[in-house]
Amino acid sequence: MSAEGRHRSNLDAILTTAEHDRARLDSKALGAFSLTLLGVASVVGAGIFVVTGDAAAHYAGPAVLISFVLAGVVAGLTALCYAELASSIPAAGSTYSYAFAAFGPLIGWFIGWDLLLEYLFAASTVAVGWSGYFVSLMETLGVHVPHALVNPPFGDDPGVVNLPAIAVMLLASGALWLGTKESAVANNAMVILKLAILCLVVGVGIFYVTSSNLTPFVPTHEGGFGDFGWSGVLRGAGIVFFAYIGFDAVSTAAAESRDPRRTIPIGLLGTVLIATAIYIAVGFVLTGMVDYRQLGVADPIAAALEAGGRDLDWLLKLTDVAAVVGLASTVLVTLYGQTRIFMRMSEDGMLPPAFGKVSRRTRTPQFSIVLCGIVGSIVAGFVPLSVLGELISIGTLLAFIIVSAGVVTLRRRYPDLERPFRVPALPLVAGTAIVSSIALMVTLPGATWIRLAIWAALGFTVYFLYARKHSAERMRGLADAEPERAGA
């Protein structure tokens, strides 16, 4: 088969299996509103409750607002590329499916493996953040949770197990088990509550902003790259980009969305716009209420509100509620995205068939849900996650580069493919997204690159030992079935 024929068969395979997925899943579970809130649930999570303060205190100071703008631009440009691909290839596998269609099974597998960093490990990271806020909320209610039950057995402050983190992972998995529509209803309620409380924080906190806390807006450069100054703003953008991780979860819901060629692009672009506005508003209030050096704590919103005095105690309690509810929704959506990617990869022969099996009763991939719940719980409960944020960021940026390159490749290779949404000025948008993603990757520490290389080497080993052979068999099966469908 010629190279062009192989590429065509890759695209045909993705489109064929996308139709199959819609037939066996609840293809009308999610509309544009639920898809947007699904994306917001994933994006407005650990970033706003944890990462904002860390980036301001250690890298950018009040100029963390610029860091969010820079990261938001990169996310927005990439979201445009995702929107075109989602409208033309409405498949559940998101980045994996797009890479498979554009570049073939090897790159498809690599990105699918890479997405484990973005989704499953990110869910575990968020679960740990949820645990901290849950313990804080319990303390305000007079309930003390023992230290040994909220810290893993390894790290700087060892305990026995992070039990709350395990609990939220299992609860989120249980919600996904029940069904997509049921999970969406729960997620919508949690996101609306979270956004309402965050708007209240901004509306009240803005009256406590003082200009002295915002001066100097860009702190003086103190030495190495990233230690404040404009290099700190760039390093801060690379760090806060973790906050935008997950907007592509919207595209993993293509098989369970009403009119996905229209609603998925709305959900993607709506998520980035809403999230960027919220991050900038909250970041401004936090750095205006308290000296940015005091925000390098696990709960920066609480630190800022405490600086406002006892008058804000009521709002402090509400933010604990927002964090507990909001981070739980982030765990839910992140796990959702991972299970759908596993399902899609299984259908292409990349993973064993069990990953793709869908329950006839709940119309969900229950094996993948159970596996993700168990593995994610183990990671959240027993592994210190201090470096996972950077590792997740570099993996996601790499996926974004592949998507941006893929939309250009598919536009050139298949000019007649149906595209209800088209990226305007594609070469400029995609090129800027690629260069910006590379620039953010460069700002991350060298140790993060080493960990990514090790992870990639492990992934390629699995590919050549299992996925390569079974994917080829799957492709041959689809090719053999094509004449039969044509004859019928």
Q: What is the pLDDT of residue 45?
A: 73
Dihedral class, residue 256 (left if φ above 0, else alpha if ψ from -120 to 50, else beta): alpha
Inter-CA distances, 145 with 156, 166, 247, Å: 19, 14, 33
Q: What is the pLDDT of residue 484?
A: 46
Q: What is the pLDDT of residue 209?
A: 93
The structure tokens 């209803």 sit at 185
Q: What is the pLDDT of residue 6?
A: 56
Q: How far apart are CA 236 and CA 188, in angstroms?
A: 30
Q: How far apart are CA 181 and CA 204, in angstroms?
A: 35
Domains and CATH numbers, the chain: 28-479 (1.20.1740.10)
The rounded average pLDDT for each run of 10 residues, N- to C-terminus, in the chain (488 residues) is: 58 79 78 90 77 84 90 87 89 84 90 82 84 84 88 78 93 90 88 91 93 88 76 83 77 87 91 90 92 83 86 87 87 89 89 90 90 91 66 78 92 90 92 87 80 89 92 74 48
Stated as kind and residue range, the H or E segment containing 7 is helix 3-24
Q: What is the pLDDT of residue 488?
A: 43
Q: Residue 15 is encoded by which pair of tokens?
A: 């489109």
- Amino acid (one-letter) located at 385: L
In sequence order, what are the beta bridge partners of 30?
A: 257
DSSP track, 391-416: HHHHHHHHHHHHHHHHHHHHHHH-TT
Q: What is the pLDDT of residue 231?
A: 86
The structure tokens 């689809």 sit at 478
pTM across the whole model: 0.84
Q: Residue 371 is encoded by which pair of tokens?
A: 């596996």
Rounded to 10 degrees, what is the CA torsion of 30, 34, 35, 36?
A: 160
Q: Residue 264 is encoded by which pair of tokens?
A: 């998925």
